[in-house]
Chains A and B, each alone.
Chain A
Amino acid sequence: MADPLMSLRDLRVEFDTRHGRVTALSGISLDVMPGETLGIVGESGCGKSITALAMMGLVPNPPGHVTGGQILFQGEDITRAKPRRLRRLRGREIAMIFQEPMTSLNPVFTVGDQIAEAILLHQDVSRAQAEKQVVDLLATVGIPEPARRAKAYPHELSGGMRQRVMIAMAISCRPKLLIADEPTTALDVTVQAQIFDLMRDIQREFGVAIVLITHDMGAIAEMTDRVAVMYAGRIIEQGTSDQILDNPLHPYTRGLIGCIPVLGREAGDAASLPPLAEIPGIVPPLHLLGDGCAFAERCALADDYCRAVRPPLEEKGHPVACHHAGQGVPA
């Protein structure tokens, strides 16, 4: 097998908060292979965005700290990289698009200038060449009248157009890794589909690896090769998209897919569920995490052992962290 493009090895990230130091990521390990699409799913607050930012060396500090583990990009540990080296990776080798297209572009510069800025930063081209590239990129991401739109300010474009601009900026230097943090959450359903189509086209054309963060299981099914499921700062199940979708082993994953034994919901009403399944209860706040399984309070299969001992991530067909993996009502 080829070497992974990006590997997280037992990554720990902690935050200073009112409640003292809390652990947002407690030992995340995952690999992204060149050219593949890895999905990361989980509810809000599970640590998906922090994982993404860590891959760019952008964990907000203060209050965040990477306190353990490694972040290997093509074998190079970027937790040890100098700021200068990190800046050469960002935008050029690893690019990112965000959840909020409305606020992710600077309101006082034209979108063309903002894309050109990335090009001029990383490529040895003239201003005029960069501007020409900008127009080509805008055409690539499906923006009509690209030459005119390059001169537009963000507020003159719709949310979908702005996200296309963000994608154009992200691919401007042909990165090897594109991290998309809930890129469609803020958009209309029809626009969501267009953005996913665009991302697929871009992957085909540029061969870029994509990390797609989402809580939309439909997007996972359509877009990803492999999936990591996160809960409360840990990966609790990992596998190929087929394994996760067809044979989910963790009660939380099953709940996300909308098929099962979770407190307060009957099995069998999966058909009526929206793509984003609602699991009763909430993700426990980080400072209240105990020694046992973080999902126990919401899990229909939970017993005293679950509440006392945290289940490790173990191979049970594919890696899963649950004492009763695969038990209960079958999928």
Chain B
Amino acid sequence: MEKIKLATVWLGGCSGCHMSFLDLDEWLFDLAAAVEVVYSPIADLKHFPERVDVTLIEGAVANEEHLELVHTIRARSRLVVSFGDCAVTGNVTAMRNVIGNSAEAVLDRAYRELPTHNPRIPDEAGIVPPLLERVLPVHAVIPVDVFLPGCPPPAPRIRAVLQALIEGKTPEMIGREMLKFG
């Protein structure tokens, strides 16, 4: 049987979802037998590849790089999974949205109003991707096939979803074990 091509992506999140993924411990061996990891922050690959079967997206869409990447991901992935609360709801990453509908207001708050020393917005062009005016959950930008909530999603929940996807089934997102946010 040909291996399932799995990608995992880290957008505007804390990497906690990926840490929880690594918490799958020895089941990762079983997973490795069934999938080929074609892109991931824990693998050294520069470009998002073509023809991916399953992509887990951790994090919300917060800057222009994220925005471009999610469109590429959607075009090249059969199944897209919103992986964790930041991807599903915006979560902590989107808390900045209450400051106002502008990236400028957010940067002002963080770099001019709050610092006691040297208040200045870092402006090295071409290095840090510009922030979007608003942080968005992934499904506000592209269609999403599976929602895997949790901050972070507990390892058994990640396993249940991946197991179903490997077997070609739709994961059953029902009940506290599978659905609780936070």
**Are A and B interaction partners?**
no
